[in-house]
Amino acid sequence: MLKPNFIFKCITDISSEFLHNNNIKGLLLDVDNTMSVAHGNKTLRSGLAEWLSDMKENGIELIVLSNAKTVRARRFGDSVRLSVVGLAAKPLPFGYLKAVKALKLKRREVAIVGDQIFTDVLGGKLAGVKTLLVTDITREEAFSFRVRRKIEDFLLKRWKYER
């Protein structure tokens, strides 16, 4: 229930060729630590703008799916010119289903790209979409985050994966 379908170091390592080969036509994109460099930081990962254009040119449908408040999520979406489902309450499946509907695709044709096993991946499983985990993160200070990251590290190790 927690193991992602695929694990990548960084979002920009996901190629359109890989998506075509796996019949993935649309992506639900997490913001913090996935498209941005850290939690609550709006700085984009290097190469992200080029990656987004490449995806669009190759016919991949994109939408932002974030637990951030709608205003912040939308501001981020505007900065990368993507539509947004904010206040998604991941890992609950409702936001995922809304985003899949907005892309006009089937659930099995869509994948979530996110950095958190207990929100992005778990929610993706509950919603019935494919799950792509990215592992290159900036570690958070907050205690609750530190605990979750420790558990994630443990799971990644079990799956024979290093951050």
In the complex with Mg ion, the residue whose CB is nearer, 34 or 108, is 34
The answer to whether the beta carbons of residues 59 and 40 sit under 8 Å apart is: no
Of 61 and 115, the one with the shorter C-beta distance to Mg ion is: 115
Q: Which of residues 103-132 bind Mg ion (CB under 5 A)?
A: 115
- # chain residues binding Mg ion, by CB under 5 A: 4
Question: Residue 136 in 3-state DSSP?
Answer: coil
Q: Taking CB under 5 A as the rule, does residue 32 contact Mg ion?
A: yes
The Cα-based distances of 136 to 13, 88, 93, 122, 128 in angstroms read 11, 22, 25, 18, 25
Q: Which of 33, 36, 131, 135 binds Mg ion (CB under 5 A)?
A: 33
Cβ(38)–Cβ(77) under 8 Å?
no
Position 3, amino acid: K
Q: How far is the CB of 80 from Mg ion (least distance, A)?
A: 15
For the CB of residue 135, give the shortest distance to Mg ion in the complex, in Å.
12
**CB-CB neighbours of 70 under 10 Å:** 14
Cβ atoms of 96 and 65 within 8 Å: the answer is: yes
Query: In this structure, what are the phi and psi dihedrals at residue 62, rounded to the nearest 5 degrees?
Result: -130, 140
- Smallest separation, CB 57 to Mg ion (Å): 25
Q: Which is nearer to Mg ion, 30 or 61 (CB)?
A: 30
Query: Is 47 or 59 the residue whose CB approaches Mg ion more closely?
Result: 47
Q: Is 152 in the site for Mg ion (CB under 5 A)?
A: no
Closest CB to Mg ion among residues 11, 55 = 11
Residue nearest to Mg ion (CB): 32
∠ CA 53-59-126 to the nearest 5 degrees?
A: 100
Cβ 10 to Mg ion shortest distance, Å: 13
Which residues here bind Mg ion, judged by CB under 5 A? 30, 32-33, 115
